[in-house]
Amino acid sequence: MSSGYIQYHGLLLPTEAHSMESLEYAQNFTVEDTDVFAVTYPKSGTIWMQEILPLVLNAGDLTPIQTIPNWDRVPWLEEKRLAHVVDELPSPRALVTHFPYNLMPPSFHTSKAKVIYVTRNPKDVMVSSYYFHQMAGFLEDPGTFDEFMEKFLEGKVMFGKWTDHVKSWRRSELGDRIMYITYEEMVQDLPAVLRCISDFLDRNLSEEIIHKITEHCSFESMKANTMSNFSLIPKVYMDQTKSPFYRKGIVGDWKNHFSSEQLTRFTSVICKELKGETFSLPGVWNEHQPQEGERGHADYVTVGHK
């Protein structure tokens, strides 16, 4: 295993962004009732939520997304940067985290802070992660696609097993404090998702503002935004000549990568680990991908608070 990782409660975390001090800081962090967390497994829409949340929370004011790098405007709870920027965060504060539910700080559990949990088809998560490992100098080389798939299924990647992460948050019983959405829904109908987020966060945004946020949170807009496209990061850490950070932003790219044998293995492992769960997830059981305007039987989770 690369020496560029630390082990934390059985999870591998890259030392470039994490330290034992930053993780201790996260555990002692004082969560406020008005805080909003976007929670994701890596490569499931985190950066998208860093663009969306400030715009929803401040009625479409573009200032933060045009003047503050995304990692400072909506910082990660577990990363080193939080301690440096936390005092500058406006209220209500927006944060992101890759933590499983059980690693959230004690103050989170006693607060009224809200959570938006974004799930993505695990096959697309793995493909995106594979390319990210190729361009990120602080992560170990992914090896072949087949080798990386085995690491992913075994949880020998940052933040562990995808299934463990999803199960931890799906079982959280946070009631009306948590809203579940999917990356696939965001791709298919972002305005509809934004309306749900607006309602969930009691923002009451007009259709005009929803339209404005949709425009500025498109794949093309974010890719062109210096504050969001990671072009400010030195090449030694993120070599976008190997793979662009904003690569495709589509649903179903896994079809271009998985062999039939790999697909059978991947689906078998994921389904076995989710056996007995009562929630449906994007693209795990149903291999049929919806056409435009069509809903798949198990490809989408209903947008809503619970």
Active site residues: 98
Classify the phi-psi angles of 160: left when phi > 0, otherwise alpha if psi is within -120 to 50, otherwise beta.
left
Distances (CA, A) of 38 to 14, 46, 121, 189, 255: 20, 7, 17, 19, 28
C-beta of residue 93 within 8 angstroms of C-beta of residue 57: no
What is the rounded CA–CA span in Å between residue 117 and residue 95?
A: 12
Helix (H) or strand (E) holding 294: none
Q: Which residues pair with 94 in a beta bridge?
A: 36
Long-range contacts of 62-66 (CB under 8 A, 24+ apart): 62/216, 65/216, 65/225, 65/227, 65/228, 66/225, 66/227
**Beta carbons of 45 and 183 less than 8 angstroms apart:** yes
